Structure 1
C-alpha cells in the first residue's frame, strides 16, 4: 500500500495483494520507519462506518471505509473512493482510496499492480 500526502489531501493506493488482505482480515497497514524509535503507520480498515473517513492517533493514520464498499472490490471495475471531511479550523481533508495501476509511461514498479485501464491490449 502506498500513502501520498499533499497539503490537505491523503491518498492510499492498494495493490491486488493489499485488497486480498483487506478482504480476508478487514485491514491492511504499512509502516514507514522515520528515525530510530519512531515510525509512521498507515492503515486502511473496512468498518461499520457510514462514509470514508480518517483519523490520527499517535503516529498512526487510520482510514476507515464502509465494509460494503470493499466487498468484492478486487474483481469489480470500480477504481476507488473519494470523500472530504472537516479537519477543523476551516480546513477540509480530501481522502482518496484507489487501486494501484501499472504505469503507462515507464516500467511497472509493482508486479502486483492492477493492469492500467488505458493500457494498449494485444
Structure 2
C-alpha cells in the first residue's frame, strides 16, 4: 500500500506539476522485492517510470520468486531493466535464463596478469 501511494503521488507530481518529469531523479532500492507489497500494476509502472525520472533497483534471490508473483508477466520485469547482475545461485530456471541471455549476446573475457619483480638481496 505504501508503494502504491508513493508511485501515485510521484506520477501525479511529474505529470501535472513538473511537465512530465520530476526535477530530481527518484530511485527505489527494492531489496527483498518478492516480500514487498507492490502496486497491482507494477509491470506497467516499471515500463513507464523512466520517462518520469523514476527508477527501481530490483533485488531478488532467483526468478522463481518473480514467477510466483507475476505468473504470466514475470519476463516483463527483467525485460524492462537495463542492467542485470547475477551473483549465482542454485535455482535451475534462473541458470537457464542467464545462460540463454549470455548465449544471445556473447561473452567477452579480459584477463590481466601482473608480476612483481623480485629484489635481489645483497650480502655486502
TM-score interval (norm. to shorter): under 0.3
Structure ranking higher on relative contact order (CA contacts 8 Å, 6+ apart): 1
Calculate the TM-score normalised by the size of structure 1: 0.22
Larger Rg: 2
Higher helix residue share: 2
Higher strand residue share: 1
Calculate the TM-score normalised by the size of structure 2: 0.22
